Chain A
Amino acid sequence: MTTTTGFSPEVLRLDPQREADRICARIRELMRNQVKRGGVVVALSGGIDSSVTAALSVRALGRERVVGLEMPERHSARETLELSGKVAAALGIQTQVEDISGILQSVGFYEKYDSAVRMVVPEYGAGWASKIVISGVADQPRFTSFYLVTQDAQQVQATVRLPLQPYLEIVAATNFKQRIRKMLEYYHADRLNYAVAGTPNRLEFDQGFFVKLGDGAADIKPIAHLYKSQVYQLAEFLGIPEEIRSRKPTTDTYSLAQGQDEFYFSLPYQMMDLCLYARNHDVPAESAAAVLGLEPQQVRMVYRDIDTKRKTTRYLHLPPLLVEEVEWE
């Protein structure tokens, strides 16, 4: 356990070169001793996490052993392909573009999603866009509730709280995106005899912000131990293009642009990082609040939310559970 002395944003400062070297040595060791595949496939979203994961993989294995997959669909942000292309070019890696709109159409995603939205907004249809947002956990002591934000063809936005069934239907349908992307990652990994590198950072990994058997699936997760602020530090060191480093984190999952702090985390990542660090190191809420510019009560609520998310998403991390242990090693 660390003491609270000296808690400040500086606790997340790392030596990028040393950390990059440490991660790369570990990637090589894992590939050689456990994974035993010739390279890695990395899904590139144009975001910071996948860019850093790809850059570390290149540094660890060589650019000829890394393939970037770009998998946009109808709802992807316009700049997604452009940014992922820039990363791939900067790293000098081979890429493959798989537009997943056709697969999503075949499994009925768009129809299922729209039908679920129409359970609460009957007029939802062509020309509309939408996203899910959560209530602010740090604002007041309330249970998290989920809201649907819609935007009609005239750009008029409306917000409605989601009851159970439409919420479940919307999330279930949307999870197709992450699972289809992962299916394609493994297709390319298998045909190349490569492994799949997952891209979660510590916030996402710890707080269960991933889809089981979707973006949660991978053979190695090189940055799962890094706070998001640390991922940005590595990004700068690794030469990730400025446009990507200065872009606001987004889920790029819904047809309306959605920040990660709107959907899952209660605060912007810089503050969430510090709260998670503080929680992990038993920093009293009063001390953390002073550094974060929040009220102690708000920090206590975020701590409680961190604990709740850990508890409620624990099953996402678990392998299939057996009735009794089966020895296989």
Chain B
Amino acid sequence: MNVKDEIRNFVVENFLFGDAGGLTDDSSFIREGIVDSTGILQLVAYLQERYQVAVADEELIPENLDSVQRVAAFVEGKRQGSAAGAGNAG
């Protein structure tokens, strides 16, 4: 399973109780009411545990974390040492 599918599964299982409904890879977690600030903490904890990706303060931005697509790109970027957002932790 690739990173995007894993993240999608995490979101569906943890925040949508297994029912993906209309979730697309580009759905905004915040605008659609899928994830709140505590949910972002859960997501960050998952990224750290699953991919050993540390998320710096300045990386906690919608560009990195507000959709399946963005999170996947962020993780891939961090793994390759060039995060989509600013910051250098991880």
Residues of A bordering B, CB below 8 Å: 135, 140-146, 161-165, 167-168, 308, 311-312
Contacts and interface: CB of A to CB of B under 8 A. Distances in A.
A164 B41 contact: yes
B80 interface: no
B37 A144 contact: yes
A164 B45 contact: yes
29 contacts: A135-B60, A141-B61, A141-B62, A142-B57, A142-B58, A142-B60, A142-B61, A143-B30, A143-B37, A143-B40, A143-B61, A143-B62, A143-B65, A144-B40, A145-B37, A145-B60, A161-B57, A162-B41, A163-B44, A163-B45, A163-B48, A164-B41, A164-B44, A165-B45, A167-B38, A167-B41, A308-B30, A311-B36, A312-B36
Contacts of A311: 33, 36
B36 to A, nearest CB: 4
Contacts of B42: 164
A144 B35 CA distance: 12
A168 B38 contact: yes
Contacts of B45: 163-165
A163 B57 CA distance: 11
A143 B38 contact: no
Nearest to B39: A312
A308 B36 contact: yes
Contacts of B37: 143-146, 308, 312
A135 B56 CA distance: 13
A207 to B, nearest CB: 13
A302 to B, nearest CB: 15
Given A308-B30, A308-B36, A163 B61 contact: no
A145 B38 contact: no
Contacts of B40: 143-145
B57 A145 contact: yes
Contact of A163 (B41, B58, B62, B65): B41
B63 to A, nearest CB: 8
Interface string B10-40: 0000000000000000000010010011101
A38 B63 CA distance: 56
Given A163-B41, A164-B38, 18 more contacts: A141-B61, A142-B58, A143-B30, A143-B60, A143-B65, A144-B37, A144-B40, A145-B37, A145-B41, A145-B57, A163-B45, A163-B48, A164-B42, A164-B44, A164-B45, A308-B36, A308-B37, A311-B36
Contacts of B62: 141, 143
Contacts of B61: 140-143
Contacts of A145: 37, 40-41, 57, 60
B61 to A, nearest CB: 5
Contacts of A164: 38, 41-42, 44-45
Contacts of A142: 57-58, 60-61
A313 B10 CA distance: 23
For the complex of A and B, list the 4 residue pairs with the smallest distance between their C-beta atoms, beginning with the closest.
Answer: A312-B36, A164-B41, A144-B37, A164-B45
